[in-house]
Amino acid sequence: MRYDFAAIEAKWQQRWAASGVFRAANPGEAGFDPDKPKFYVLDMFPYPSGVGLHVGHPLGYIATDIVARYKRMLGFSVLHPMGYDAFGLAAEQFAVEHGVHPRQTTEKNIANMTRQLKRLGLSYDWDRALATTDVGYYKWTQWIFLRLHGAWFDPARNKARPIAELEQLLESERLYIMPDGELIEPPAQGLEGIGGTPFGAIRWQELTVHQRRAVIDSRRLAYMDEVAVNWCPALGTVLANEEVTNDGRSERGNYPVHRRPLKQWMLRITKYCDRLERDLDLVDWPEPIKLMQRNWIGRSEGARVDFPLAYGTAKDAQEAITVFTTRPDTLFGATYMVLAPEHPLVDAVTSDPQRAAVRAYQKQAAARSDADRQAEGKTKTGVFTGGHAVNPVNNERIPIWIADYVMMGYGTGAIMAVPAHDSRDFAFAKTFGLPIRDVVYTPALTAIAAFAARADLAATDEKTLCEQMVDFVGLCINQQVSDFDAAYQAILRRREKDTFGGPLGSNRGAIASIWQDTVKALHESVGIARLLAAARKGEVISLLDDAETEHGVNVNSANEEVSLNGLPTAQAKHVIVEWLEKRGLGRKQIQYKLRDWIFSRQRYWGEPFPILHGPDGEVRAVDEADLPVELPAMEDFKPEASDDPSAPPRPPLARAPESWRYVEIDGVRYERELNTMPQWAGSCWYYLRFCDPNNDERFVGREAERYWMVSPKKDGQPHAGGVDLYVGGAEHAVLHLLYSRFWHKVLYDLGEVSTPEPFGRLFNQGYIQAYYYEDARGVRVPAEEVADASGTPAAELQDQIAPLFHHGQPVKRLYGKMGKSLKNAVTPDEICDQYGCDTMRLYEMYLGPLDQSKLWNTRDIIGVHRFLQRVWRNFVNEETGALLVTDEPPGDEIRRLLHRTIKRVTDSMNAMAFNTAIAALIELNNALVSAERLPREVAQAMVRMLSPLAPHIAEELWEKLGRAGEEALMTAGWPGYDEVMLLDAEVVYPVQINGKVRGRITVPSDADEDAVLAAAQQDEQIARNLEGKQVRKVIVVKGKLLNIVVG
RNA sequence: GCCGGUGUGGCGGAAUUGGCAGACGCGACGGAUUCAAAAUCCGUUUCUCGCAAGAGAGUGUGGGUUCGAGUCCCUCCACCGGCACCA
């Protein structure tokens, strides 16, 4: 009876489905066991693509399945669900191209992918399967949107609260609104303004209904605003910043994108910057992913500083321009200011003679798309406004420019320019001849200054001077010299006997680059003159021909009240900010890069907003009772590709039947919101729905959510609860994972969920890569049609390959992520047909570490397939079908091997290092080949260890073993090992002489150091090597090795 | 440019805290079985020199720390990923 994987796999997949063994019971349901610990292991759910899965997709799914099965064996109650992220641009594009309604194509694709996934024997609880396009699902997506719409962010508590509470606070005057929109609490006793309100505050009672509504609406977490959006004419929709690539194109489809102002739904994610950043400390995620999120959030600490406008500049403007800077310590070096072209104060500061030039520049900047800007690189452009401001620390009058290297979207849209210590300001100052003033001496600059003060500039030739300086600076930086006199003398002494070879000490950091630049300067005979001219005048100039952005020590930084001179950068920042605060000129400020999330799309295939627009501009939330707002059935759902700047885009839903578009409430006719939500909406919360997918009352039942999401705290570990293991690709590092965290935190603030974070542990699997082939024209050809000259398919060739051909044409072999576009996809179906899914699972796991990208090589699959066949033959007599198992206990050696293997496999499973788990099982199995009959004890342990990895063959063998007493394999338990069995009576020591292995000795494992050494000295080969040499030192690493140091 | 990751035989990869580099698999080579082939089984397989015993070299480069470095520190290089005028 041979190993018939097809029959075995079909049999067990049917049995599992029929018995529902993988169904996870919620609290209160039949079969729920409150004593079991829970484990929630989740895959990033896929988008149901028309071409189905290739072997790259299931990599993560197989891994989570192994974890799920392993955890079940350890006695956990495991939640392991699967679903589909089915809304979005890709599905709609596919439908448009094929002329079929997206719901049809989506359903068809889901059916196909579900079939493919089931074939892999993945132990999902299919009863919980969902798609974001299910009406019963997106009803709750809309419901969550209403929560966002119905909430505001209270900065005092740093959390979201229901909007009704804001209304109450305003109405009862426990909170006031200032004209700039700031919310303030009532002033302390004695400081009230007229009528008990703060000076300048807007009185709620005096506002009209419209004004009140505007105040409230502008503070919601979901709000409408006219913003410069990323408009993609080809896709006919707005895109999020995260959906636009660096070169100004759409991530989906690679179409051009440009900015245009449009009124859009926005989500106020920026209010959560602080918590999104800080709470990364609570989760167990890969550090690189955390870092990417941190960079995206972009927290900077700095200061806000007001620069008053100089007399004769402003006509009717406010008196000051506010800037944000991370380097307030360089304030004395600010020699000009720059406003973004769109800055509201530009008009006010512009002088009449400059007005035409400023207008022209503004117009030009507005017209330039991001792609154009990119093409121009970092060349600085700008125009002088004619206006001046006053540097508050030294009362200097400095010019105000506008330039597009300052952006309105970050900070205040205005900067103070410190060309000496910021490379962009430096480039701008160079271009326009603006003054540059050093106010921070970095270690390199300090050393150069010290050199210039000591060297005999008049009497030494230029080349020698340069060489001396490089030596001197190198010495000072490398050895952190503070006694410059001694250092200078050392250099002179060295020069006497040494020829010039390079900077003293090892080449490190700053000195290496100075060294390179100087050598270059020497070489080209440029720069030296400049350098020496400056040195002779007692000035210091940077050798690097760029701003010195490193931290250092302040110089030239003092006024009558405050001096930063001599202070290191961190201290200087602190002192100057304190001074500014005291004088009311500035304050400490934390700034983030993250912008609010543009949340509407002008597309059909998305969740409709539960929002109505009234005739007077009222924005009204749909009553909860009226959810869901179903997507209307439409024949023509194509987007309108348009780029008419005067006409707002018409989303497809504008063509929906009037019966859908208009709703009458209390005699008022409302029009529905015609935009739809972006694809991210559905994936923001699906992990919650999986806890309780059929709940009609709530988006997730409270008890189910608590049970699956809250995990017990481990001592000393940062802890946020949430999904216990979330596995997916790193491509979602900032998009999905940031958006989900944001929604989750809002739901947490509003008391709808129990944990501050959605995903307690994240694991990024690598990609599966594969060779792909291009012909002479650079056109990719299908990988399976490529062969060598003799016609052998490329997949079967060795790695050192002969020239390859596609239908006679020579092709080039390249390497990339597997997929449709590279024409190198291999489907799991073809592998399952040929080898079975157990082999497929083992192969993908055996390929290498899960978190690394690795090369798919069909030829190698045979290795793990042979392993399974050998396992089968170790258990079953292929002739008779008889079980080759004995009840005799195993021999001592086999038993020790078994226990060592159990330890290795257990450790590997815990570390998710499935490749090494499989290697250990192969070794054990190979050691058993020679045995006539397998001891039952070994056979049982082996099957248990194999079962998470190759569950079908394991189940079959388990059944043949008689189920070890009626136990289902899933609950059979994971084998344990005995520490004592890991130790051998004797141990082999490699003996090193001066670190080289010269022989090995066998000693009892409890031998002490002297005994080990004595044994080594008796060894013939070792003795020969020691002959005539003196033993200086002996190192014995217990149980590991012996090293004899001789002289 | 900045940030992050990776670099080990012909190939994929292994190597708790620094302790025998190359586990395991693929491929290749040799052998057994077979009329033959497939399949299977046994053996060899980092490189160089050597009939051999053995010797030497070796984890991208160069240096350092250490009795001892794939592992720690510094430097440079290559490839992959992210960000990119963020003040």
Closest residue by C-alpha to C1' distance, nucleotide B12: A847
Note the strand B nucleotides within 7 A of protein beta carbons: 3-6, 10-16, 19-21, 23-28, 39-42, 54-56, 62-63, 67-69, 74-76, 80-87
Q: What is the mean pLDDT of residues A865-887?
A: 89
A347-356, A480-489, A767-776, A923-932: which is most confident:
A347-356
**What percent of chain A is predicted at pLDDT more than 70?**
86
What percent of chain A lies above the pLDDT cut of 90?
49
Q: What is the pLDDT of residue A727?
A: 95
Tokens representing A1039? 């149980």
The distance (Å) linking the CA of A242 with the C1' of B51 is 69
What are φ and ψ of residue A754, in 5° steps?
-100, -10
- Average pLDDT over all residues of chain A: 85
Average pLDDT over residues A529-533: 54
Q: Are A946 and A956 contacting, i.e. CB atoms less than 8 angstroms apart?
A: no
Residue A488, pLDDT above cutoff 60? yes
- Going by pLDDT thresholds of 50, 70 and 90, the confidence category of residue A377 is low
Query: A735: which residues sit within 8 A by CB, 6+ positions away?
Result: A240, A242, A243, A680
Which nucleotide across the nucleic acid strands is nearest to A287, CA versus C1'?
B4
Q: State pLDDT tens for residues A711-739.
A: 877 655 657 789 999 999 888 888 899 99
**Per-residue pLDDT at A316 exceeds 80:** no
The yes-or-no verdict on residue A952 having pLDDT over 50 is yes
CA angle A895, A900, A901 (to 5 degrees): 95
- The nucleotide lying nearest A1032 (C-alpha to C1') is B67
The per-residue DSSP string of A597-621 comes to: EE--BS-SSSPBPSEEE-TTS-EEE
User: How many Å apart are A622 CA and B82 C1'?
Assistant: 40
- Output the six-digit token pair for A403: 């330039």
Which nucleotide is closest, CA of A873 to its C1'?
B40
**Å separating the CA of residue A577 from the C1' of nucleotide B39:** 81
Q: CA–C1' distance A1025–B55 (Å)? A: 13
Mean pLDDT of the A855-867 span? 90
Structure tokens, A341: 């072209």
Instruction: Check if the beta carbon of residue A428 is closer than 8 Å to that of residue A338.
Output: yes
Question: Protein A989 CA to nucleic acid B19 C1', in Å?
Answer: 11
The distance (Å) linking the CA of A732 with the C1' of B46 is 40
| Radius of gyration, CA atoms only, chain A | 36
Q: Are A723 and A759 in contact (CB under 8 A)?
A: yes
Bridge partners of A336? A417
Judge whether residue A540 has pLDDT over 60. no
Residue nearest to nucleotide B69 (CA to C1'): A995
pLDDT tier for residue A506 given thresholds of 50, 70 and 90: very low
Contact predicate A908/A849, CB 8 Å = no
- List pLDDT tens digits, range A436-475: 888 888 776 777 777 777 877 667 766 677 667 766 766 6
Q: Is the pLDDT of residue A594 over 60?
A: yes
Please name the residue ranges forming H helices in A525-669: 528-536, 569-583, 658-661
DSSP label of A435: -
Report the distance from CA of residue A767 to the C1' of nucleotide B6 in Å, as an integer.
Answer: 14
Nearest nt (C1') to A987 (CA)?
B20
Angstrom distance, A884 CA to B43 C1'? 27
pLDDT at A508 over 70: no
A2 CA vs B31 C1’ separation (Å)? 27
**Is the pLDDT higher at A447 or at A289?**
A289
Axis crossing angle, helix A462-478 with helix A528-536, rounded to the nearest 10: 80
Under DSSP, the state recorded for A879 is: T
pLDDT at res. A525: 35
Q: Residue type at A359?
A: R
Q: What is the pLDDT of residues A962-1011, one digit of tens each?
A: 876 556 777 778 999 888 777 777 777 888 888 778 877 888 877 787 88
Instruction: Give me the pLDDT at residue A681, please.
Output: 95
Confidence of residue A490 (pLDDT cuts 50, 70, 90): confident
Distance, angstroms, CA A4 to C1' B23?
A: 30
Task: Average the pLDDT over A917-946 and give the result.
Answer: 91
Compute the average pLDDT of residues A840-866.
91
Q: What is the pLDDT confidence band of residue A648, given thresholds at 50, 70 and 90?
A: confident
Among all strands, which nt has the closest C1' to A302 (CA)?
A: B87
For A794-829, how does the pLDDT look when each residue is reduced to its tens digit (9 = 90+)?
Answer: 777 766 566 788 888 888 887 788 887 788 888 999
Nearest residue to B16, CA vs C1'? A907
What residue has token string 């000195």? A511
Establish whether this prediction's ipTM goes over 0.85.
yes
In tens, the pLDDT along A625-645 reads: 998 999 998 888 887 766 666
Report residue A787's pLDDT band, with 50, 70 and 90 as the boundaries. confident
In terms of C-beta density within 10 A (0-12 exposed, 13-18 middle, 19 or more buried), how is residue A233 classed? Answer: middle
Question: What is the distance between the alpha carbons of residues A157 and A148, in angstroms, rounded to a whole number?
Answer: 17
Residue A398 has pLDDT above 70, yes or no: yes
pLDDT score, position A369: 57
pLDDT for A374: 54
Q: Which nucleotide is nearest to A1044 (CA to C1')?
A: B67
In terms of DSSP bridges, do strands A986-993 and A1041-1046 run parallel, antiparallel, or are they unpaired? parallel
Q: How far is the CA of A799 from the C1' of B27 (A)?
A: 9
A180-234: pLDDT as tens digits: 777 787 766 555 555 566 677 778 888 888 889 988 999 999 999 988 777 887 7
Which nucleotide minimizes the distance between its C1' and the CA of A913?
B14
A426: which 2 tokens? 């430096």
| pLDDT given for residue A710 in this prediction | 92
Can you give the pLDDT at residue A500? 36
Q: Which two tokens mark A880?
A: 């008779």
Name residue, tokens 């740093």.
A158
pLDDT digits (tens, 9 = 90+) for A979-993: 877 777 777 788 888
| Closest nucleotide over all strands to A867 (CA to C1') | B25
A520 band by pLDDT with thresholds 50, 70 and 90: very low
Q: Which of A263, A330, A271, A253 is nearest to A92 (CA)?
A: A253
Distance CA A172, CA A164 (A): 12
Whether A757 has a pLDDT exceeding 50, the answer reads yes
pLDDT at res. A1016:
80
Q: Which two tokens stand for residue A425?
A: 């300001």
Give the CA dihedral A438, A444, A448, A450, nearest 10 degrees.
100
* pLDDT, tens digit, 9 for 90 and up, residues A104-152: 999 999 999 999 999 999 999 999 999 999 999 999 999 999 999 999 9
Nearest-nucleotide field for A512 (CA, C1'): B75
Q: Is pLDDT at A517 greater than 50 in this prediction?
A: no
> Distance in angstroms, CA of A1042 to C1' of B52?
28
Whole-angstrom Cα distance, residue A321 to residue A591? Answer: 17
> Which nucleotide is closest to A799, CA to C1'?
B11
What phi and psi, each to the nearest 5 degrees, are found at residue A771?
-70, 145
> Tokens 């005067």 correspond to what residue?
A646
A872 CA – B38 C1', rounded, Å? 20
Q: Which residue is nearest to nucleotide B27 (CA to C1')?
A: A798
For residue A601, is pLDDT > 80? yes
DSSP A890: P
